Structure 1
Amino acid sequence: MAKTSRSLLIALGCVAATTAAFMTSSPAQTAKAGADGKKKIVFVAGRPSHAPGEHEHRAGSMLLAEDLNESGLPVEAVVVTDGWPKDESVFDGAAAVIFYADGGGGHPAIQHLPKLREIADSGAGIGCIHYAVEITKGEPGNAFLDLIGGYFESDWSVNPHWDASFKPAKHEISRGIDDFKIRDEWYYHMRFRGKMEGVTPILTDLPGPETLSRPDGPHSGNPAVRAAVLERKEPQHVMWAFEREAAGGKGRAFGFTGGHFHKNWQHDDHRGIVLNAIAWIAQVEVPENGVPSKTPTDEEMRENLDEK
């Protein structure tokens, strides 16, 4: 697929606008066939949200999907927009499902947790980007602990904008990624599984005290996070990998709390580590130098933006 055709990924085979879903042609048929040996990756992009250039779920998903399709890896990425698909057959045979959407009580998966567990139990990887790592406490939160190893829990986790500096952990997801620094809305103090069972931190940094300058609130601060960061100086994990029991062996997942600013997908390491993570959870070997992709041009970054 040529670089000039990012928008084609949305246009091909799109169903009626009333379904609020756009995808490549015949997604279910492609997933079931698998004759070409490619693993199917399904992006679930959320509805329009926030100001222009922020939470660009559709445009970001389209960009990452095309990079994967052009990478030369044995994958086929498709994108569904406006949240959970009305036709769930798009998930048939998926090797990985990626959520890039608003979370909390409006998370696309919150009304479909049994189906999400079914997908994960089949061995498919589950990935959550930015707000999609947040879901409500109780059954939804417990499901995320089981499926992706952690989540943003209100009155425990926080969502400040800050400049984080990373030295990526040694892991297949970090192949080809250099140390980097970037400003984003990096959520931290995530709720993880007990004793970090199955969880491997990938990106970690110690936030500065300015990240806790807001009054306490469901997303802004609480005594637990202040004690962890300001008193005990505990580094915080903002990206992690997770392995869990699934059909035929270990299922995989990741959480990535960055992705607030659309412009950050032009940063090669920020974009690259997410592409690597997607390949990894789809059980595709990450190349030694990482999943290849070209830095998007300014024109390409403007494609598929939501009207806001």
Structure 2
Amino acid sequence: MALKRSIATLTLISLTLFSGLFASDDAFAETHKIVLVAGKPSHPARMHEFNAGVQLMAKCLQDQPDVDVHFVLNGWPKDESVFEDTDAVVFFMDGGGRHEIVQENGKRLKTIQSWTEKGVGLGFMHYGVEVVADQAGEEMKRWVGGHYDHMFSCNPIWEPVFNQFPKHPITQGVEPFKIKDEWYFNMRFLAGIEGNQPVDLDGMKFVPILVASPSDDVRDGPYVYPQGPYEHIEASSGRAEAMMWAVERADGGRGFGFTGGHFHDNWGNENFRKVVLNGVLWIAKAEIPANGVEHPVSEDDLNANLDPKGR
């Protein structure tokens, strides 16, 4: 009887080991942690809705397999443990001299630099792509390939047509679209490149994702602030401009910049939404569905979690 029990036990162990060899990939899939950081409230209602925006993004990503999405509201977190073991961090917030990343006398910049040295992906959205060059310009070029530079870049409200896309995971499932937004352009890119063509530079692979050519009327202004126009913007008549771009860094990490996002209701546009959500997954090195991230957004979704702004 003891011999029979031993044989049965060995058979069970063998079957368990054998079945393990053929277990689905899902059983061993790596979880990709993403942290979305929203800035403090600013601008009138339904503009710069950072808190509502990151919560909407998190909802759209929650059903993606092997992804663990966290969000932080109202600026840099008091408890930085949320960043532990993260694969990607996205900043959707006001920028310039008040940018959350440049506060604490450079401490936060050093923290982010330490992440990139571990291969953490970074994304910066809308006003979040703007930094004061002397404060964090070199860091932004190193991390995501470029940044908005006050009075070098410009910020008109216009309606570009995006109808050609590079073959890239971020563009999977994205169809041609046009949408009115405060689309910044003429970024301060690494090595002075124009940013409208793919290029490999100093170990960084740079790919423009959303590219369109502003009309002369757009270049002639007015811009949101300052109203312009700037002679160097007008002098580049006919040139295509990148309004979203992606990079693969020499440290193994990834990054993107996205200059739209002024109007909250633009999240209701499927392709606007999809290209951003794909970008978030890509910098986290998570799998992007063949047709891109597909998650419907209702009017109730767009009205959820808006900041009280004197409505």
Q: Tell me whether the two structures share a fold, i.e. TM-score over 0.5.
A: yes
Structure 2 counterpart SS, 1:177: coil
Deviation at 1:210, TM superposition (A): 2.1
Matched, 1:262 2:264: yes
Q: Partner residue of 1:91?
A: 83
Matched, 1:62 2:70: no
Q: Partner residue of 2:298?
A: 297
Contact map agreement 2:221 2:227 (CA 8 A) in 1: no
Q: State the alpha-carbon separation in 1 of the partners of residues 271 and 48 from structure 2.
A: 19
Contact map agreement 1:156 1:190 (CA 8 A) in 2: yes
Matches within 5 A, 1:157-236: 157-167=153-163, 168-194=165-191, 195=193, 197=201, 198-214=205-221, 220-228=228-236, 230=237, 233-236=238-241
Q: State the alpha-carbon separation in 2 of the partners of residues 215 and 97 from structure 1.
A: 33
Q: State the alpha-carbon separation in 1 of the partners of residues 62 and 222 from structure 2.
A: 44
Matches within 5 A, 1:1-308: 37-70=30-63, 72-111=64-103, 112-167=108-163, 168-194=165-191, 195=193, 197=201, 198-214=205-221, 220-228=228-236, 230=237, 233-246=238-251, 250-294=252-296, 296-308=297-309
Structure 2 counterpart SS, 1:291: coil
Contact map agreement 1:41 1:282 (CA 8 A) in 2: yes
Q: Amino acid of the residue matched to residue 152 of structure 2?
A: W
Deviation at 1:221, TM superposition (A): 3.7
Q: State the alpha-carbon separation in 2 of the partners of residues 147 and 207 from structure 1.
A: 27
- Deviations along 1:191-238, one digit per CA (max 9) or x if unpaired, are 11114532210000011122233479757442222211x2xx210000
Residues 289 and 136 (structure 1), Cα distance of their counterparts in 2 relative to 1, 3 Å cut: same
Q: State the alpha-carbon separation in 1 of the partners of residues 75 and 117 from structure 2.
A: 21
Q: State the alpha-carbon separation in 2 of the partners of residues 219 and 44 from structure 1.
A: 29
Q: State the alpha-carbon separation in 1 of the partners of residues 273 and 177 from structure 2.
A: 12
Deviation at 1:122, TM superposition (A): 1.3
Contact map agreement 2:156 2:222 (CA 8 A) in 1: no
- Deviations along 1:49-80, one digit per CA (max 9) or x if unpaired, are 1010100000010000111112x321111111
What RMSD over aligned residues (CA atoms) do the two structures have, in Å?
1.7
Structure 2 counterpart SS, 1:86: coil
Q: TM-score, normalised by structure 2?
A: 0.82
Q: Amino acid of the residue matched to residue 125 of structure 2?
A: I
Q: Amino acid of the residue matched to residue 127 of structure 1?
A: G
Q: State the alpha-carbon separation in 1 of the partners of residues 295 and 167 from structure 2.
A: 21
Q: Amino acid of the residue matched to residue 80 of structure 1?
A: V
Deviation at 1:36, TM superposition (A): 8.0
Structure with bigger gyration radius: 2
Contact map agreement 1:165 1:205 (CA 8 A) in 2: yes
Deviation at 1:292, TM superposition (A): 2.4
Aligned residues: 266
Q: Amino acid of the residue matched to residue 247 of structure 2?
A: F
Q: State the alpha-carbon separation in 1 of the partners of residues 227 and 153 from structure 2.
A: 6
Contact map agreement 1:103 1:135 (CA 8 A) in 2: yes
Q: Does 214-223 or 45-54 show the bigger shift?
A: 214-223
Q: State the alpha-carbon separation in 1 of the partners of residues 206 and 229 from structure 2.
A: 24
Deviation at 1:284, TM superposition (A): 1.0
Q: TM-score, normalised by structure 1?
A: 0.83
| Identity %, equivalent residues | 40
For structure 1, which runs of at least 5 residues remain unmatched after alignment? 1-34
Deviation at 1:278, TM superposition (A): 0.4
Q: Amino acid of the residue matched to residue 79 of structure 1?
A: F
